[in-house]
């Protein structure tokens, strides 16, 4: 198959990580995956060089230049499937796919990708989306509860998957050293965009409250970049904890970072099925996560991780103290987390399902174009 991903986003988030993983894996299986990406975006600047990346200035919604360029790409590369996510991508990629009679698959990351208050969202979905896929059941259930009209349209769930990556001890030690953390320090980490909804402020507040009760030396590692970095650093300084909190920047290897954490945190108010949580668990890291979106579909509280309610800073503080002071519990939860991922959320399972899903959509499209056999 020849597949065209369309990515208008400027930042690097969960959809970008998913795009890289699936593109690389499908290429290894003999398919060709092209990614039309915003020219000056963070994704375009940091994506692996091995990808078939096509930088582009998308312009306004329904840009005729962009629509005709996508039509050109579909025809030039004999594209079988177009994959879009946000509204701008559907406005250009969906129209081009429809003109070329090629399926447009919408990858829905969160339920609030839909909004009944905006009729144009329903219009675009009805006219220019062939079928949709979500990373967990919760996204689809929440989307239906807010937009009941979606029940008339096909929707598939394929979980995000990650395989445990063997990070050798030297690489982990070198990474921790680059952060300024020695092997005796308990590294409490989060890998995230630094924006408001990810609630890094909650993580900082909870860690600072826990700090006096953590018996061993500890540090909070914040791995990521974003528009709130300056204000978050100022917040740390105001709490007098800057010497214990490390902002280490964006990483293109989040699983190595997860290997270097002793405890991993996810505190976002609103998630679909966060890649970061799957990555933490795949690396056998004891994880504390907010019970939002589809998190509960992978994290079983007190069995392979710990769950807290949205915005509950005290609960997060208590659980940080619990894990930081109990190495045996960290090991138990981390081992169970890795087992959970290997059994039900492996990368191979994810790719198998996407490959079959894309092939089914492409086959259905071809059969519609073929003359019907008459008796």
Q: Is the dihedral of CA 12, 14, 18, 19 positive or negative?
A: negative
Model confidence over 263-317: pLDDT tens digits?
A: 999 999 989 999 999 999 999 999 999 999 999 999 999 999 999 999 999 999 9
d(CA 307, CA 315): 9
d(CA 351, CA 286): 26
- SS3 label, residue 60: coil
Model confidence over 172-222: pLDDT tens digits?
A: 999 999 999 998 999 999 999 999 999 999 999 999 999 999 999 999 999
What is the DSSP pairing of strand 104-107 with strand 81-84?
Answer: parallel
pLDDT at 115 over 70: no
d(CA 134, CA 15): 11
d(CA 134, CA 156): 6
Residue 371 has a pLDDT of 45
> In 299-315, which positions are buried (b, 16+ CB within 10 angstroms) versus exposed (e)?
beeeebbbbbeeebbeb
Give all domains of the chain, ordered by start, each with its CATH number: 2-161+347-368 (3.40.50.2000), 169-344 (3.40.50.2000)
- SS3 label, residue 108: coil
Tokens read off for 38: 């915003």
H or E element in which residue 228 lies: none
The pLDDT of 138-153, averaged and rounded, is 89
Order of strands, sheet of 2-7, starting from the edge strand that comes earlier in the sequence: 52-56, 32-38, 2-7, 81-84, 104-107, 131-134, 155-157
pLDDT at 372 over 70: no
d(CA 198, CA 223): 12
């Amino acid at each position: 198959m020849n597949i065209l991903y369309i990515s208008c986003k400027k930042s690097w988030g969960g959809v970008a990580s998913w795009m890289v993983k699936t593109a690389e894996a499908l290429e290894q299986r003999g398919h060709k995956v092209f990614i039309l990406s915003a020219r000056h975006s963070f994704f375009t600047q940091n994506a692996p060089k091995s990808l078939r990346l096509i930088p582009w200035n998308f312009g306004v919604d329904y840009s005729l230049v962009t629509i005709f360029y996508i039509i050109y790409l579909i025809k030039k590369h004999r594209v079988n499937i177009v994959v879009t996510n946000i509204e701008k991508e559907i406005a250009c990629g969906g129209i081009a796919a429809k003109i070329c009679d090629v399926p447009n698959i919408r990858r829905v990351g969160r339920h609030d990708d839909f909004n009944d208050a905006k009729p144009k969202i329903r219009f675009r979905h009805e006219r220019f989306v062939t079928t949709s896929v979500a990373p967990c059941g919760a996204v689809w259930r929440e989307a239906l509860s807010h937009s009941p009209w979606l029940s008339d349209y096909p929707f598939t769930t394929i979980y995000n998957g990650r395989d445990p990556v063997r990070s050798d001890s030297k690489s982990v030690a070198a990474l921790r050293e680059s952060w300024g953390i020695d092997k005796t320090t308990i590294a409490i980490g989060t890998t995230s965009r630094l924006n408001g909804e990810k609630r890094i402020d909650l993580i900082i507040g909870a860690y600072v409250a826990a700090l006096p009760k953590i018996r061993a030396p500890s540090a909070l590692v914040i791995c990521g970049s974003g528009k709130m970095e300056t204000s978050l650093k100022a917040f740390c300084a105001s709490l007098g904890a800057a010497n214990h909190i490390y902002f280490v920047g964006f990483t293109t290897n989040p699983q190595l970072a997860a290997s270097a954490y002793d405890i991993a945190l996810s505190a976002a108010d609103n998630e679909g099925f966060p890649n970061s949580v799957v990555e933490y668990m795949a690396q056998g890291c004891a994880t504390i996560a907010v019970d939002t979106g589809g998190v509960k579909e992978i994290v079983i509280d007190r069995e392979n991780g710990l769950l807290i309610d949205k915005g509950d800073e005290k609960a997060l503080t208590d659980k940080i103290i619990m894990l930081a002071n109990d190495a045996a519990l960290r090991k138990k939860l981390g081992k169970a987390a890795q087992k959970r991922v290997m059994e039900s959320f492996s990368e191979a399972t994810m790719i198998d399902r996407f490959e079959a899903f894309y092939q089914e959509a492409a086959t259905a499209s071809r059969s519609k174009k073929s003359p019907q056999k008459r008796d």
